[in-house]
C-alpha cells in the first residue's frame, strides 16, 4: 500500500509521533505530513524531565527531538496547541479543536498516555503536580529547592527519579507508596530493597504500605498529605506518580479495536488498514513473549514509529526487538531488558552492596529479563540472550568472575 | 558553532554546524542524519550512537568513561577508534571533526 504521495496525518506530537515524522522523511516519503499536537512545543524527550533537565543539567534545546525549523524545512505542517477531537473513518477526516477538519490518506495515532489523578479530597489544590509534560516539569522545578519539602506519591521509577533529583536540588523528600515495597509491580524484590537503601543513604524518607487519603491545604495551596493511619505529612508540593492511562478515547469512539490500548499488529496497524497506532497508546504484539501488551518506554515508541514508517513506505518490517528501558537515580544507571513473564527462577550476579549487580529472571534455562545496576555488560549480553533464547548455565551466570561473553559463549 | 562531517556507510558526506556544548550525536539527530539512532537520547544506555572517529581527531575527543567503554564493548564492529557520539561534546577545538557511521547500530 506504499504511496509516496499519500497525506499522512499524525495525532500527538510526542516521542512516537515526532520520530515517525523523521523516519518517514528518511525513508523517502514525499507526500505531505501533518503533525497535530496539543502541547505548545514541537516533539521532545520526556525522560530528562525527571532526571538531567530537572536537575538543571539539560536545556530546552536539548530536550527537543528536532529544532522547530525542521518541520517547515521538511514540508511538515506542524500544528501545536491543537487537540484532535473526533475521528470519522468513513470520510477519512479528523476534527480539530481549532474548528478545522483535516483529511488523511494514512492516519497515525500517537496520543501517548496521561498521568492518572488520585480521586481524593484536596487533589485539586495548587502545588499538587504530575510529571508528564515539559509544562509539568517547569511547575515542579519552580517549587523544589533548599528548605522545601517535596512529597512523592508513588514509588515507581518516575517517582524515584523525582526523589533523587529533588535531593540533588536540596529539597527534603518523602516518598509514599501503597505497596509494602518500592517498584512492586515492575521490579524484583532485591532491587526494591537496594533502591530503598540507596535512597535512604541520600536522605530520602519512605512511607511504605501507606495509603494517601487526601491532601490538606491553606489558601488553595497544598500543605500536607494525609495517610490512612491518620497522620498528615507536611509538604510544600506533592508529585503524584501513580501510573498513566492511554489516550485511546478517539480510537474507541471511532470503533477501532482496543484492549489496554489501541490494538495493533506487527506493522503497528490498527483494525482499520488506513490507521496506525504507536507508542504508549498502543497495545501491541511482542513475539518473543508470545503475547500482546502496552509499554511505556522510549525504545518502544521508537520501534513502533519504525514499524509504521516501514509499512507506510513499503520497506520490510524491522526485525523483532528485545524491549528495554533505563532509569537514572543519583549515580546509579539502571538498564532493564525484557519482561519477567513466566520466569521461574531469579539469579543474582554481583553484590548489591557494591551498587554494581544484575538480577536475571529465567524460565528454565532461558533468560526472560535482566535488571542491571551500573552493569552494562550484563544488560547488553542479557538483551542478546533474551532475543536468541540461548540456554545458559545458571551457576556460571551467578559468578561475576566469569565474563558475560564467556557465560553466553 | 563547530563543523562536523558525518560520513555514511555508503560514503555520503554531510557537513553540519553543531552548536558548541551539544554532542556529536545531537548534531546528527537534530539534523535528521540517518545512521545514528540514539535510542536513549544521550544517557549512555543504548550504544546506538556508535561512530568511528577519524584517527587524527581521536585524541582531541578525550577519553572514554568506564560506562562508555563497557557499552561499546558490546556494540557491533567495534574498532580502536570507536566512540559513542553522545559522549563527545562539541567545542571549538573539535571544529572540523570527521566521523564515519557504521552500517547499522545493532
Ligand atoms: C517523567 C518521565 C520520565 C520518563 N523516563 C523514561 C526513561 O527513562 N526511559 C524510557 O524508556 N521511557 C521513559 N519515559 C516514558 C516515555 O517518555 C514515553 O514512553 C514516551 O514519551 C511515549 O511516547 P508517545 O509519543 O507514545 O507519547 P507522548 O510522548 O506522551 O506523546 C503523546 C502526545 O500526544 C498529545 N496528545 C494526546 N491526545 C491528543 C489529542 N487528542 N490531540 C492532539 N494531541 C494529543 C500529548 O499531549 C502528547 O504531547 C518517561 C516518561 C516520563 C513522563
Ligand atoms: S545515545 Fe544512547 S548511548 Fe549514546
Q: What is the DSSP string of A196-261?
A: HHHHHHTTEEEEET--EEEEEEETTEEEEEEETTS-EEE-SEEEE-S-EEE--HHHHHTT--BSSS
Distance separating alpha carbons of residues A339 and A333, to the nearest angstrom: 18
Among A240, A257, A285, where does a domain finish?
Answer: A240
| Overall domain count for chain B | 1
Last residue of a domain, one of A201, A220, A240: A240
Q: Is residue A274 part of a domain?
A: yes
Q: How many domains does chain A have?
A: 3
Phi/psi at A159 (5° precision)? -60, -45
Residues A20 and A100 in one domain: yes
- For residue A113, give Cα distances in angstroms to A52, A155, A244, A293, B57: 22, 19, 6, 14, 44
**What's the average model confidence in pLDDT over A224-229?**
98
Ligand 2: nearest atom to the Cα of B42: 1
Does residue B105 form part of some domain? no
pLDDT mean over A252-273: 98
Specify whether the CB–CB gap between B90 and B18 falls below 8 A. yes
* Residue A344: exposure state from Cβ atoms within 10 A (0-12, 13-18, ≥19): exposed
Are A299 and B39 in contact (CB < 8 Å)? yes
* Ligand 1, atom 38: closest residue by C-alpha: A111
Residues of chain B with Cβ-Cβ distance to A61 below 8 Å are: 19, 22
| CA distance to partner chain A, nearest, from residue B70 (Å) | 6
Q: How sure is the predictor about A4, in pLDDT bands with cuts at 50, 70 and 90? A: confident
Contacts of B34 in chain A (CB under 8 A): 26
Q: What is the C-alpha separation between B91 and A39, in angstroms, rounded?
A: 33
Three-class SS of residue A360?
strand
CB B40 within 8 A of CB A302: no
pLDDT of residue A40: 97
Q: b/e map of A19-38 (b: 16 or more CB within 10 Å)? A: bbbbbbbebebeeebbbbbb
Rounded CA-CA distance A293/A4 in Å is 31
Identify whether the C-beta of residue A179 lies closer than 8 Å to the C-beta of residue A208: yes
Nearest CA in chain B to A404: B74
Point out which residues pair with A136 in neighbouring strands.
none
Show the domain range for B57.
2-100
| Domain membership flag for residue A319 | no
Residues A248 and A193 in one domain: no
C-alpha cell at A268: 503497528
- Confidence (pTM): 0.96
A169 contacts A338 by C-beta, under 8 angstroms: no
Whether residue A79 is contained in a domain is answered as: yes
Residue B106 resides in a domain: no
Same domain, A163 and A261: no
Residue B10 falls within a domain, yes or no? yes
Tell me, what CATH number does A161's domain have?
Answer: 3.50.50.60
**Residues A159 and A58 grouped into a single domain:** no
A247 with A268: CB under 8 angstroms? no
Percent helix, strand and coil across chain A, each rounded to 5? Answer: 25, 30, 40
Low-confidence stretches of chain B (pLDDT < 50) are none
**Claim to verify: residue A231 and residue A139 sit in the same structural domain:** yes
Of A299, A324, A333, the CB nearest to B67: A333
Distance CA A156, CA A296 (A): 13
Question: In terms of residue numbers, what domain contains A346?
Answer: 331-408
Residue A1, pLDDT above cutoff 80: no
In the 8-state DSSP scheme, what is residue A148?
A: -
| Mean pLDDT in residue range A309-336 | 95
CA distance B34 to A399: 40
Q: Which residue from B minimizes the CA distance to A16?
A: B39
- DSSP single-letter state for residue B64: P
In this predicted structure, the answer to whether residue A146 has a pLDDT above a threshold of 90 is yes
The last residue of one of the domains, among A313, A341, A358, is: A313
Same domain as A396, residue A298: no
Which band of pLDDT confidence, cut at 50, 70 and 90, is reported for residue A2?
low
Instruction: Determine the pLDDT at residue B99.
Output: 97
Decide if B76 is inside a domain: yes
- Give me the CATH number covering residue A347: 3.30.390.30
Question: What span, in angstroms and rounded, lies between the C-alpha atoms of A52 and A59?
Answer: 9
Asked whether residue A326 is domain-assigned, the answer is: no
**A61 confidence band (pLDDT: 50, 70, 90):** confident
Residue A60 scores a pLDDT above 90: no
Residues A138 and A281 in one domain: no
* pLDDT per position as a tens digit, A91-106: 999 999 999 999 999 9
Confirm whether A324 is domain-assigned: no
User: Measured between alpha carbons, how far is A319 from A330 in angstroms, rounded to an integer?
Assistant: 35
Residue A73, pLDDT score: 96
For position B62, which CATH number holds?
A: 3.10.20.30
pLDDT of residue B59: 93
Q: Which residues of B touch A26 (CB under 8 A)?
A: 32, 34
Distance (Å, rounded) from C-alpha A286 to C-alpha B102? 28
A21 touches ligand 1 (CB under 6 Å): no
**Nearest listed ligand to the Cα of residue B46:** 2
Do A231 and A259 lie in a common domain? Answer: no
Amino acid at each position: 500500500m506504499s504511496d509516496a504521495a499519500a497525506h499522512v496525518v499524525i495525532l500527538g506530537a510526542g516521542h512516537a509521533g515526532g520520530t515517525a515524522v523523521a523516519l518517514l522523511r528518511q525513508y523517502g516519503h514525499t507526500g505531505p505530513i501533518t503533525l497535530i499536537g496539543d502541547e505548545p512545543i514541537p516533539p521532545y524527550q520526556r525522560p530528562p524531565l525527571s532526571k538531567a533537565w530537572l536537575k538543571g543539567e539539560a536545556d530546552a534545546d536539548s530536550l527537543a527531538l528536532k529544532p522547530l525549523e525542521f518541520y517547515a524545512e521538511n514540508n511538515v505542517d506542524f500544528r501545536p496547541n491543537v487537540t484532535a477531537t473526533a475521528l470519522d473513518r468513513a470520510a477519512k477526516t479528523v476534527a480539530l479543536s481549532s474548528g478545522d477538519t483535516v483529511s488523511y490518506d494514512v492516519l497515525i495515532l500517537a496520543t501517548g498516555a496521561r498521568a492518572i489523578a488520585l480521586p481524593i479530597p484536596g487533589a485539586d489544590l495548587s502545588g499538587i503536580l504530575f510529571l508528564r509534560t515539559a509544562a509539568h516539569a517547569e511547575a515542579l522545578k519552580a517549587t523544589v529547592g533548599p528548605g522545601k519539602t517535596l512529597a512523592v506519591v508513588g514509588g515507581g521509577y518516575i517517582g524515584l527519579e523525582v526523589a533523587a533529583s529533588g535531593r540533588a536540588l536540596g529539597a527534603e523528600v518523602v516518598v509514599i507508596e501503597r505497596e509494602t515495597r518500592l517498584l512492586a509491580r515492575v521490579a524484583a524484590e532485591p532491587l526494591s530493597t537496594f533502591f530503598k537503601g540507596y535512597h535512604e543513604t541520600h536522605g530520602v524518607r519512605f512511607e511504605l504500605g501507606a495509603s494517601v487519603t487526601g491532601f490538606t491545604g491553606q489558601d488553595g495551596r497544598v500543605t500536607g498529605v494525609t495517610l490512612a493511619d491518620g497522620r498528615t505529612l507536611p509538604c510544600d508540593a506533592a508529585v503524584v506518580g501513580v501510573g498513566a492511562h492511554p489516550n485511546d478515547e478517539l480510537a474507541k469512539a471511532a470503533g477501532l479495536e482496543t484492549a489496554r490500548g489501541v490494538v495493533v499488529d506487527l506493522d503497528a496497524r490498527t483494525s482499520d488498514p488506513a490507521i496506525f497506532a504507536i507508542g504508549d497508546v498502543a497495545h501491541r504484539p511482542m513475539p518473543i513473549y508470545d503475547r500482546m501488551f502496552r509499554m511505556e518506554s522510549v525504545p518502544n515508541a521508537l520501534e513502533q514509529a519504525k514499524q509504521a514508517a516501514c509499512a507506510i513506505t513499503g520497506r520490510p518490517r524491522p526485525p523483532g526487538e528485545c524491549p528495554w528501558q533505563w532509569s537514572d537515580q543519583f549515580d546509579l544507571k539502571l538498564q532493564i531488558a525484557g519482561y519477567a513473564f513466566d520466569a521461574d527462577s531469579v539469579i543474582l550476579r554481583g553484590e548489591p552492596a557494591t551498587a554494581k549487580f544484575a538480577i536475571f529472571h529465567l524460565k528454565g534455562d532461558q533468560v526472560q529479563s535482566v535488571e542491571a545496576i551500573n552493569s552494562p555488560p550484563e544488560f547488553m549480553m542479557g538483551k542478546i540472550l533474551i532475543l536468541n533464547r540461548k540456554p545458559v548455565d545458571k551457576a556460571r551466570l551467578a559468578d561475576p568472575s566469569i565474563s558475560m561473553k564467556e557465560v553466553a559463549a | 558553532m563547530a563543523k562536523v562531517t558525518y560520513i555514511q556507510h555508503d560514503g555520503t558526506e554531510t557537513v553540519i554546524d553543531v552548536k558548541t556544548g551539544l554532542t556529536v550525536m545531537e548534531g546528527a539527530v537534530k539534523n535528521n542524519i540517518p545512521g545514528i539512532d540514539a535510542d536513549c537520547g544521550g544517557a549512555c544506555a543504548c550504544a546506538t550512537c556508535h561512530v568511528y572517529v577519524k584517527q587524527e581527531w581521536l585524541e582531541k575527543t578525550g577519553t572514554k568513561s568506564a560506562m562508555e567503554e563497557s557499552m561499546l564493548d558490546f556494540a557491533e564492529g567495534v574498532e580502536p577508534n570507536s566512540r559513542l557520539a553522545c559522549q563527545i561534546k562539541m567545542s571549538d577545538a573539535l571544529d572540523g571533526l570527521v566521523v564515519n557511521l557504521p552500517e547499522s547500530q545493532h
